[in-house]
Amino acid sequence: MASNHDIASPLLGTIFKLKVAVGDSVHARQEVIIIESMKMEHPVEAGVDGVVASIAVAEGDTIASGQILISITPGAASTQAAQDTTLMETAERADLAKYRERRHLTTDEARPEAVARRAAKGQRTARANIADLVDEGSFVEYGSFAVAAQRQRRELDDLIRNTPADGLVGGLATVNADEFDADTSRIALASYDYTVLAGTQGFLNHRKKDRLFTVAEQLRTPFVLFAEGGGGRPGDTDAAGVAGLDGPAFALFARLSGLVPLVGITSGYCFAGNAALLGCCDVVIATENSNIGMAGPAMIEGGGLGVVKPTDIGPIDVQTANGVVDIRVADEAAAVVAAKKYLGFFQGATKNWNRHDDEVLRTLIPEQRTRVYEVRTVIDALADIDSALELRPTFGIGILTTLLRIEGKPVGVIANNPAHLGGAIDSDASDKASRFIQLCDAYDIPIVSLCDTPGFMVGPEAEHTAQVRHFGRLFVTAASINVPWVTIVLRKGYGLGAMAMAGGGFHSNSMTVSWPTGEFGGMGLEGAVRLGYSKELAAIENETERAELEAKLITRAYEHGSALNMASHVEIDDVIDPAETRHRILSIIGSTKSWRARDGKKRPMVDTW
């Protein structure tokens, strides 16, 4: 006959509760006694199936470690004892049930009316946008149980149900992890929730932003901000203070500039504080229904500036023409597609790519030197198929700025636009190119310059735009970078403008080469001839003879300024077959390092303009 099973105390303590009596049938995993020690309860299980034979202690007794407490006669436990234990193990705990209920109230499923209102406007919820952006199952949320700081004026249940996450959903996730490794694909993100108090910036969602901005700085993760809503929220009652102007959010976010890529996305109304954060981003992606402004209707009216409709403030046509918006898209789904594509340029090279045949490049520049052409055809032919992403296409249109890939490697392209002012560089184009150069340098993206310019824009009217300073910006910015810079002269390379397109001079970059169509001079050759030979031409009274001499001098000037003659004087590095272009670029950019490998910033910031 088997001997009894004795249960000994595992520690010094006091008998807090006896949960069985002599003669009770017990299950092996059933709790039979609870010992209190150092204010903590320690449950003791039976250890075997059987019947309680004896109990050697009483509640309140102080017991020693190893002291015998209960003796059990082994045997089959009663069905009831086994069932009781099973029920205890399978029943959901009260704390977990409460958590699940609260968790559900943070989801879109708990707010069907709010979701329906968004759908009626053709927009998505904050959580729906995030789910579309990030890799499935990767989102780790911060501060999901926050509610508006209005407990002094509203019931807690009302706040839980109607102000989930205090109107800001944010955390960490991965994007494009199927193409890049886990570390490279990790991002931080935050999305204002317009269904919660019109996306205003509340006390607690400010704290959440502060936390996320700090985490992004610590982990060196790109940050994606969905900015829709108004500015500061006047209705919060639970925070001490007067105006809240000591909050760190804007400084913390601005400090990320130049450290990690910052992506701003907006749809609908984006005013005041939301717009201020959006304006700090490296790239702004906005939908057709966007209105972006540093103040909404209430603030405008409060300032005595009249009553305006929100749709009259910073509509998309205004904000694309003036350069505020970098990428214009139809809706939030398209914005997410653009954001994922943009982020990819900062996540590294791709292994899978397709490109056009090199020979295509040979036919893109017309043989007739005065015939205009579309420079985007050159950019698209040079880029891996479907890889190009143009920024600010309707602002500063004299220079195109485009991110693309060449055999999987990220590249930033600046290109003169001969369809606008013959390719002359004006103030807006200079600003646009200068900022793009900063962006590429900050995150170690090589620069390719496609040069076809008669130079900087000239004339009395042009000087009203402060050209002297704007053009100077292009030179000092180019001189401050250290990423590889390759200049390809497609056709015209004249004057200071051409030097700016080469990073300051044809020998101030990593390589300057020309296609056979290239032509060069200190200024436009026709003008140079007319100025340089003005006396000789004026001395000829016969108009036909004068025109013949002028044409002869211009032809000679073009021969002198031809690409081949420039190369023979080593003023450029080479003249190449256009089909060689991709190979020449790759020979320079192949060893580019990643911005992630640095300790801190290369540049103090990326200029917002």
**Each residue of 58-107: pLDDT tens digit?**
999 999 999 999 999 998 876 665 566 555 556 788 999 999 999 999 99
pLDDT computed for residue 235 by the predictor: 81
pLDDT computed for residue 527 by the predictor: 64
Q: In 287-346, which ranges are continuous DSSP H helix? A: 297-302, 316-321, 332-344
- The angle, 0 to 180 degrees and rounded to 10, between the axes of the packed helices 427-442 and 467-479 is 20
pLDDT computed for residue 591 by the predictor: 66
pLDDT computed for residue 561 by the predictor: 79
Task: Tell me which of 56-70, 153-167, 281-295, 542-556 is least confident.
Answer: 542-556
pLDDT at residue 424 tops 80: yes
Sheet strands (E) in 296-436: 327-329, 389-391, 399-406, 409-416
Task: Tell me which of 15-24, 402-411, 532-541, 598-607 is least confident.
Answer: 532-541
Sorted by sequence, the CB contacts under 8 Å of residue 406 that are 6+ apart come out as 355, 382, 383, 384, 448, 582, 585, 586, 589
pLDDT at residue 523 tops 70: no
Rg (C-alpha) for the chain, rounded Å, is: 35
pLDDT at residue 498 tops 60: yes
Convert the pLDDT of each residue in 178-190 to its tens digit: 998 878 999 999 9
pLDDT computed for residue 3 by the predictor: 86
AA identity, residue 169: V
For residues 453-466, give the mean pLDDT.
89
pLDDT at residue 348 tops 70: yes
pLDDT at residue 240 tops 80: no
Q: What are 574's strand-pairing partners?
A: 513
At residue 373 the predicted structure's pLDDT band, cuts being 50, 70 and 90, is: very high
Sign of the dihedral through C-alpha 187, 443, 389, 591: negative
Distance of CA 322 to the CA centre of its chain: 21
Distances (CA, A) of 381 to 348, 354, 356, 406: 21, 11, 6, 10
pLDDT computed for residue 84 by the predictor: 62
At residue 571 the predicted structure's pLDDT band, cuts being 50, 70 and 90, is: very high
pLDDT computed for residue 212 by the predictor: 97
pLDDT at residue 201 tops 90: no
Between 578 and 307, where is the model more confident? 578
At residue 245 the predicted structure's pLDDT band, cuts being 50, 70 and 90, is: confident
Q: What percent of the chain has pLDDT over 70?
A: 95
- Domains 5-91 and 99-344 are alike in CATH topology: no
Task: Tell me which of 110-114, 327-331, 526-530 is least confident.
Answer: 526-530
Domain range 358-518+562-593, CATH class: alpha beta
pLDDT computed for residue 522 by the predictor: 66
Residue 348: left if φ>0, alpha if ψ -120 to 50, beta else—which one? left
Task: Tell me which of 148-162, 233-247, 472-486 is least confident.
Answer: 233-247
pLDDT at residue 530 tops 70: no
pLDDT computed for residue 392 by the predictor: 98
3-state helix, strand, coil split of the chain in percent (to 5) is 40, 20, 40
Convert the pLDDT of each residue in 377-401 to its tens digit: 999 999 999 999 999 999 999 999 9
Between 78 and 404, where is the model more confident? 404
At residue 237 the predicted structure's pLDDT band, cuts being 50, 70 and 90, is: confident
Query: What are the extents of the domains in the chain?
Result: 5-91, 99-344, 358-518+562-593, 524-561
CATH numeric code, 99-344 = 3.90.226.10
For 50, the 3-state DSSP assignment is: strand
Instruction: Report the range out of 89-103, 194-208, 239-253, 574-588 with the highest average pLDDT.
Output: 574-588
Average of per-residue pLDDT values in the chain: 91
For residues 309-313, give the mean pLDDT.
91
pLDDT computed for residue 244 by the predictor: 72
HSE of 220, CA atoms in CB hemisphere, 13 A:
14
CATH architecture of 5-91: Beta Barrel (2.40)
Contact at 8 Å (CB) between 403 and 388? yes
Query: Which pair of structure tokens corresponds to residue 142?
Result: 């911060």
pLDDT computed for residue 127 by the predictor: 96
Q: How many Å apart are CA 100 and CA 145, to the nearest integer? A: 12
For residues 399-406, give the mean pLDDT.
98
Q: Residue 234: which of 290, 280, 272 has the closest Cα?
A: 272
pLDDT computed for residue 234 by the predictor: 80
At residue 545 the predicted structure's pLDDT band, cuts being 50, 70 and 90, is: confident
Task: Tell me which of 21-35, 297-311, 530-544 is least confident.
Answer: 530-544
For residues 286-296, give the mean pLDDT.
94
Convert the pLDDT of each residue in 116-131 to its tens digit: 999 999 999 999 999 9
